[in-house]
């Protein structure tokens, strides 16, 4: 298993502390999601990992080997930094081929374009691309040289729901192929379905580290929505809260599964189930704090 570990990253800019002691770990075969409100320092952390910005303090290790600089990571990582900027006067294919040459790679540009669904748009100049198309091209260039780690800052920006779903599926495929993936996004719900580890960043500090296993074993608020009244069920489940056509409970995943099995037997099938997560709650906590 390959691992990238950053230790206590600190970054100051214009007398403002952007990052304070941020430590991140990326493991092959796992998706780590970096979340946080705007200005939390996510993009700065990504720029450090790409070697574009030098941290004031902090080190990085790759597979237990201390690297001299973050620039050394570039041989092992593919980067997508926010909205990618391409040469507008070149076609999508030409842009990819140019990056392939710089990377001394033998990757086939056509295959990459096909992977992101741009095979019919490859010869179009990038100046005629929509934001979503640029984002897809950005995702394609990440895969040049088949890197072990993918570092993706807001990769779903500007994507329509269909393409977003395809990209989420693509990330799972890449994870299953053994790639370590770091993603920053605001799409908590989507990432909760595919990510393994979560890092919540606030005001340049790590506010919370969690993983999917923890999340599943935590008692969380679950809301079951029904199309008919569930008042009659109150007598069987007195510990839960009944509200019109909803049952609201605090439960782990296995407890929720047990309750659902029970309800199915009584022919009460919820049309929608929502479960909050620690991550979501903490994220909302931070957002509300910032708003106040």
Partner 1 sequence: MNRLIKIEIFKLLKRTRTYLSIGLMVILVALIFWGLKSQGESALDYALQTLNRDFLVSGNILNGYLAIYVILNTLWIHIPILIVIVTADLFSSELESGTIRLILTRPLGRSYYLMSKYISSIIFVIIFMTIWAIISVLPAMLLFGKGDLIVIFEGLQIVEEKELFTKFFNAFLFAILGMSTFAVFSVSVSVFTRRSLNAILVTLGFLVISTLLQTMAPTIFKGWESFLITHHLAKWQFLFYSNPANSEVLSSTIWLVIFSAVCILASLFRFRKLKITE
| Residues of this chain that bind partner 1 (CB under 8 A) | 47, 50-53, 74-75, 79, 81, 84-90, 94, 98-99, 101-104, 141
| Least gap, CB of 90 to partner 1 (angstroms) | 6
| Least gap, CB of 86 to partner 1 (angstroms) | 7
Q: Which is nearer to partner 1, 50 or 168 (CB)?
A: 50
| Least gap, CB of 59 to partner 1 (angstroms) | 20
Strand blocks (E) in the chain:
3-13, 16-27, 31-35, 57-62, 65-66, 77-80, 149-153, 180-184, 197-202, 205-211, 220-225, 241-243, 246-251, 272-275
Tokens for 121, please give them: 């748009």
Surface-to-core class of residue 236, CB atoms within 10 Å of its CB (0-12 exposed, 13-18 middle, 19+ buried): exposed
Our answer to whether residue 285 is catalytic in this structure is no
Q: Which is nearer to partner 1, 66 or 101 (CB)?
A: 101
Q: Which is nearer to partner 1, 89 or 236 (CB)?
A: 89
User: 47-81 in b/e burial notation, b at 16+ Cβ within 10 A?
Assistant: bbbbbebebeebbbebeeeebeebeebbebbbbbb
**Could you say which DSSP state residue 238 is in?**
T
**Could you say which DSSP state residue 50 is in?**
T
In the set 154, 189, 192, 243, the catalytic residue is: 154
| Least gap, CB of 149 to partner 1 (angstroms) | 12
Q: Which is nearer to partner 1, 37 or 51 (CB)?
A: 51
Task: Just list the catalytic residues.
Answer: 154
């Amino acid at each position: 298993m390959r691992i990238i570990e950053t230790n206590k990253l600190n970054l100051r800019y214009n007398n403002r502390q952007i990052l304070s002691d941020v430590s991140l770990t990326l493991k092959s075969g796992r998706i780590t999601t970096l979340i946080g409100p705007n200005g939390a320092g996510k993009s700065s952390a990504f720029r450090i990992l790409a070697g574009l910005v030098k941290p004031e303090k902090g080190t990085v290790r790759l597979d237990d080997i201390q690297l001299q600089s973050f620039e050394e990571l570039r041989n092992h990582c593919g980067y997508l930094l926010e909205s990618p900027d391409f040469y507008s006067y070149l076609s999508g294919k030409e842009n990819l081929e140019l990056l392939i040459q710089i990377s001394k790679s033998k990757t086939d540009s056509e295959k990459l374009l096909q992977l992101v669904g741009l095979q019919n748009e490859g010869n179009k100049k990038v100046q005629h691309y929509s934001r979503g198309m640029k984002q897809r091209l950005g995702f394609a260039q990440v895969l040049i040289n088949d890197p072990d780690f993918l570092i993706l800052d807001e990769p779903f920006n500007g994507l329509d729901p269909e393409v977003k779903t395809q990209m989420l599926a693509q990330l799972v495929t890449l994870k299953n192929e053994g790639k370590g993936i770091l993603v920053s996004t605001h799409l908590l719900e989507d990432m909760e379905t595919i990510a393994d580890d979560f890092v919540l960043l606030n005001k340049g500090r790590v506010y919370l580290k969690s993983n999917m296993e923890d999340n599943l074993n935590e008692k969380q608020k679950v809301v079951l929505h029904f199309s008919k009244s569930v008042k009659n069920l109150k007598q069987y489940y007195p510990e839960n809260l009944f509200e019109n056509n909803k049952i609201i409970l605090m439960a782990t995943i296995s407890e929720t599964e047990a309750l659902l099995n029970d309800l199915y037997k009584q022919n009460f099938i919820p049309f929608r189930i929502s479960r909050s997560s620690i991550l979501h709650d903490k994220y909302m906590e931070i957002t509300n704090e910032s708003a106040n």
